[in-house]
Structure 1
């Protein structure tokens, strides 16, 4: 009888591990589109308030990447946001980045406003043209008095 209990426990433990592995593979697959290459960039912000790992990177309202990490640079005491962009997107080097959401009910995203430069940002670049995210109160005020333009 003791042997059957151990075998049952081993089978159950194996099933739990298999389920965990399946979930991890599913979670990883939902973070990137199949067959889509991406390249890494980072940006420096005074504040990355409300931005989390896994957040969308949006350009013209279209998801073009994903935030990989949000950390604090101890030397400058600024937030460093690392993100990945779809490889077919060539971002001008004078592009501006901000943190915000298109509606009051959606999650914050890293929003890209493309620049006019003909030179594209190289993979691995630390971008410094950033705008501090506005508070929820400022977003509501912009929405009420600014005709609904939350991204402004």
Structure 2
């Protein structure tokens, strides 16, 4: 009887230890533990599909993480706070969009680099932001629109 209680205690402790380890891992993967990043903010009409902890990507490569999404009650816009690697020097006219590389992947914040000589300073608010286009809207544009072809194209 004592042996059964002892093994149950050991097993329960092991399960609890694994759960705590997983929790620590999950929290560490969702927070930015490195100090070699700087903060930026983007303003969107809608941040639908984006979540805190999402990747920030440039050319398909993760270069940062979304740290907060808050509503600006005065402007009725979503302010997306994110960090990018300090080694990354973005042109001042860079833009951002919400999207995903594939239909099955999570949405991420994608940076579209600009061409300006001036660089973004930490804390810059990016106004050149485009919301994600839903799959339904993309299919509708393709069926009823020109499918992304220029008007001068011939089939």
Q: Which range, TM-score by smaller chain?
A: 0.7 to 0.9
Instruction: Tell me the secondary structure at the aligned position of residue 90 of structure 2.
Output: coil
Which residue number corresponds to residue 84 of structure 1? Answer: 83
Instruction: Tell me the secondary structure at the aligned position of residue 139 of structure 1.
Output: helix
Query: May I ask how many residue pairs the two structures share in their alignment?
Result: 143
After superposing on structure 2, the runs of 4+ consecutive aligned residues of structure 1 that deviate more than 2 Å are 14-36, 138-147
Q: 2: CA distance between counterparts of 1:97 and 1:90?
A: 15
Deviation, structure 1 residue 126: 1.0
Q: Aligned ranges for residues 69-148 of structure 1 at < 5 Å?
A: 69-140=68-139, 145-146=147-148
Closer, same or farther: CA 73–33 of 1 in aligned 2, 3 Å: closer
Mark the structure with the bigger radius of gyration. 2
Closer, same or farther: CA 114–142 of 1 in aligned 2, 3 Å: farther
The answer to whether the Cα contact below 8 Å between 1:36 and 1:86 also exists between their aligned partners in 2 is no
The answer to whether the Cα contact below 8 Å between 2:31 and 2:67 also exists between their aligned partners in 1 is no
Instruction: Tell me the secondary structure at the aligned position of residue 122 of structure 2.
Output: coil
Q: Deviations over 1:38-95 (max 9, x none)?
A: 1111110111110000111111111111101111101100000000101110111100
Q: 2: CA distance between counterparts of 1:73 and 1:99?
A: 18
Query: Which ranges of structure 1 fall in alignment gaps of 5 or more residues?
Result: 1-13, 148-152
Closer, same or farther: CA 48–35 of 1 in aligned 2, 3 Å: closer
* TM-score normalised by L of structure 1: 0.75
Q: 1: CA distance between counterparts of 2:112 and 2:26?
A: 29
Q: 1: CA distance between counterparts of 2:34 and 2:100?
A: 28
Deviation, structure 1 residue 29: 3.5
Q: Deviations over 1:110-134 (max 9, x none)?
A: 0111000111111111111111221
Deviation, structure 1 residue 140: 4.0
Closer, same or farther: CA 17–143 of 1 in aligned 2, 3 Å: farther
Q: Aligned ranges for residues 38-49 of structure 1 at < 5 Å?
A: 38-49=37-48
Query: Which ranges of structure 2 fall in alignment gaps of 5 or more residues?
Result: 1-12, 150-155
